[in-house]
C-alpha cells in the first residue's frame, strides 16, 4: 500500500465527521504524511505537513495494519510501534477513525 492508498482509505473511514474535533497527523517519515482536519466541516484528509494538535509517528506498514484492523492503535502505542506528540487524548480517539 502506498501513502496515497492509505490516505484514501482513511478518507473513507473519516467521512464527513470523524468526531475528532481536532487536527491529527500521521507522520510516516520518508513515505509522507496524512493530515486529518477534524475541525473542518466536512472533515478533510490531505497530505499536509502542517502542525497538528496531535502527531503520530508510525511506519507506513504499521499504519496499513491499523487501517486493516490487524493492529489496534492502543496496542501499537504500548508496543512502541507508534509515538505520540502533542495531545494524547486526541490519539486515544483513533478508534473512531480506524
> The domain that contains 67 carries what CATH number?
3.30.1050.10
What pLDDT is attached to residue 20?
86
- Residue 70 belongs to domain spanning: 3-97
Contact (Cβ atoms closer than 8 angstroms) between residue 54 and residue 90 = yes
pLDDT above 70 coverage of the chain, percent: 99
What are 57's three cell numbers? 509517528
pLDDT band (50, 70, 90) for residue 15? confident
Q: What is the mean pLDDT of residues 1-25?
A: 91
Q: How many domains does the structure of the chain reveal?
A: 1
Question: Tens of pLDDT along 74-83?
Answer: 899 999 999 9
pLDDT band (50, 70, 90) for residue 1? confident
What pLDDT is attached to residue 16?
78
Written in H, E and C, the secondary structure of 80-94 is: CCEEEEECHHHHHCH
Question: Tens of pLDDT along 22-66?
Answer: 999 999 999 999 999 999 999 999 999 999 999 999 999 999 999
Helix then strand count (H, E) for the chain reads 5, 5
Amino acid at each position: 500500500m502506498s501513502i496515497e492508498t492509505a490516505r484514501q482509505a482513511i478518507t473513507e473511514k473519516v467521512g464527513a465527521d470523524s468526531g475528532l474535533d481536532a487536527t491529527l497527523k500521521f507522520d510516516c517519515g520518508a513515505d509522507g504524511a496524512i493530515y486529518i482536519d477534524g475541525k473542518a466541516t466536512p472533515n478533510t484528509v490531505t497530505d499536509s505537513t502542517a502542525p497538528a494538535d496531535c502527531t503520530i509517528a508510525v511506519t507506513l506498514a504499521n499504519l496499513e495494519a491499523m487501517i486493516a484492523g490487524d493492529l489496534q492503535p492502543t496496542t501499537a502505542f504500548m508496543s512502541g510501534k507508534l509515538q505520540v506528540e502533542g495531545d494524547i487524548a486526541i490519539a486515544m480517539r483513533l478508534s473512531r477513525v480506524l
